[in-house]
Amino acid sequence: VVKLWRIFNLSVKLAHRIHMKVEVRRCQKSDLTGFLMILTKTGVILILDKNGNYISSIRKDGTVFTSISVVQDLLFLGTSNGTIQIYNASSLLFKSEIPYQHQIKSKMLLGPDAIRLGGVIKGPPTHDVRLSSDGTVMVIVHSDSSMLVYGSKKKSVINYNIGHGMKINKLKWSPYDHKMFATCSNDQSISLWSQNGDRWSLKQIDVTRSIDSSLANYRTQSLDHQKGSRSQKFVLTCLEFHPGKPFLVCGCNKGTIRMFSLHSGELISQSESSNGKVVGMSFAGNGLYLAVCYSNGVC
């Protein structure tokens, strides 16, 4: 089910409910057209209008889409082999493609899950693609925790690193600084990246500093083989920049929302919930509201 909500006079009301016949992995709305861009579990892109009426779909033989991102009039689709396909968000016409081998400068930059098939390098699945607000920089996150900063104008690699020690779950550009973006990961940290000339500097926020020792111990826990159960490891699942203040909000698999200062990295506030894993967040009303979705279906 895809739900559209409307904020009006300090209240939130359900505007429309769309029942899908397929399982939805991600959904984004194009501000330009109002279309809903839906990534299904089978790797197909469905295009619906705001009322849920089918408009079109994007599918290719042998291609499984793994990520979706809409920026202005462009639709960025990541694939299971690391390739980025770019479409016009209005006409849905194919524009260009960035093969995985063009995203790397040498063999030394190959992600740990990349393989070579003949003369073609097959990369790990693309987890997320985000373009800066000025359209000059693209950040590509792969499922093997590697991250690449790509100059979309010069079509060249600006920076490459493994990023976090574990899988990167979310990537967000700052809404007020087109030279800053943030990532959060299973390694329990938030990375803030900012550009200064041709260099990218890194500042990390260790979220475990803001939680009690019992949760901090999850960082070193492993599988409990004797009981045959998996440890409930504390991981960060999503994040959002506050649209008007230098704050960064993150959610975790424990259902807790935490707000940090971008300047000091200190914890400002936190809110706990028993609704399960935080699977999505979005600010509305110029930062007055924060919509949060949980794994049990509660929003």
Q: Which amino acid is at 131?
A: L
Reading the block at residue 103, the tokens are 């995203």
pLDDT for 38 equals: 94
pLDDT for 42 equals: 93
Q: Residue 32 and residue 16: Cα distance in Å, rounded?
A: 20
pLDDT for 121 equals: 61
Instruction: Give the pTM.
Output: 0.77
Reading the block at residue 87, the tokens are 């479409």
On whether the CB atoms of residues 167 and 113 are closer than 8 A, the answer is no
pLDDT for 255 equals: 93
pLDDT for 46 equals: 95
DSSP state of 125: P
- Burial class of 249 by CB neighbour count within 10 A (0 to 12, 13 to 18, 19+): buried
Reading the block at residue 63, the tokens are 């291609």
pLDDT digits (tens, 9 = 90+) for 20-78: 888 998 998 888 888 999 999 999 999 999 888 999 999 988 899 999 999 888 899 99
Q: Residue 123 and residue 120: Cα distance in Å, rounded?
A: 9
On whether the CB atoms of residues 79 and 70 are closer than 8 A, the answer is no
Q: Which residues of the chain have pLDDT under 50?
A: 105-111, 114-119, 212-231
User: How many CA within 13 A on the CB side of residue 198?
Assistant: 3
Name 226's Cβ contacts closer than 8 Å, sequence gap at least 6: none
pLDDT for 135 equals: 83
Q: Residue 199 and residue 201: Cα distance in Å, rounded?
A: 6
246-250 long-range Cβ contacts below 8 angstroms, 24+ apart: 248/182, 248/190, 248/192, 248/205, 249/281, 249/283, 249/290, 250/184, 250/190, 250/207
pLDDT for 39 equals: 95
Helix segments in the chain, DSSP class H: 213-216
pLDDT for 229 equals: 37
Closest CA to 80 of 37, 39, 22, 135: 39
pLDDT for 298 equals: 83
pLDDT for 232 equals: 54
pLDDT for 230 equals: 40
